Homo-oligomer: A and B are copies of this chain.
Amino acid sequence: MGADLPDIDLHRSIAARLAEHGQHYTANRRAVVDALARAGAPITLPDLLAVDESLAQSSAYRSLSVLIDVGVVRRLVHVGDHALFELAEHLTEHHHHLICESCGTVVDVTLPDRVEAAMDRTFDEVATALGFAPLHHAVDIYGTCATCTP
């Protein structure tokens, strides 16, 4: 989404978070992050490898796994047979997804703060009523994208 951190801060922030977990920000992990940042939308692993041809498949999967573990990357499922990967929200901003049921395209959307706040209040109420302690939420809006609409 629009409000990304400048690259320098992005990488510094990621390095710090990895360090907190006793992990290093290696060249491979940085290459994966760069590819995700360059994509600017959730992408599949094949797409990731296409963005940076020097990446090896097994290492890309492993770097993503480490980055997910420390909270730098988020993995999305729900569409197609490949998972989608994107930078975590603390590196971009809280957002949700528009999913085209025809072509599988996924794009980020942000909702007005007013609406987010109202949703959080409601979710907290209904979850608590069922003995759940809610931590966060995901909203997926399914429909048809511009290019798939005739």
Q: Assess the B112–A131 pair: CB atoms within 8 A.
A: no
Q: Assess the A98–B130 pair: CB atoms within 8 A.
A: yes
Q: Assess the A127–B109 pair: CB atoms within 8 A.
A: yes
Q: Assess the B111–A122 pair: CB atoms within 8 A.
A: yes
Residues of B with C-beta under 8 A to A137: 139-142
Please give the residue numbers on chain A whose beta carbons come within 8 Å of chain B beta carbons, in ascending order: 77-78, 98, 100-101, 107, 109-112, 115, 118-119, 122-123, 126-127, 130-146, 149
Q: Assess the B143–A131 pair: CB atoms within 8 A.
A: no
Task: Name 26 A/B residue pairs within 8 A (Cβ), A-sorted.
Answer: A77-B78, A78-B78, A98-B130, A98-B132, A107-B130, A118-B118, A119-B139, A123-B139, A126-B141, A131-B146, A131-B149, A132-B141, A132-B143, A132-B146, A133-B143, A133-B144, A134-B141, A134-B142, A134-B143, A135-B143, A136-B142, A136-B143, A137-B139, A138-B139, A138-B142, A139-B139
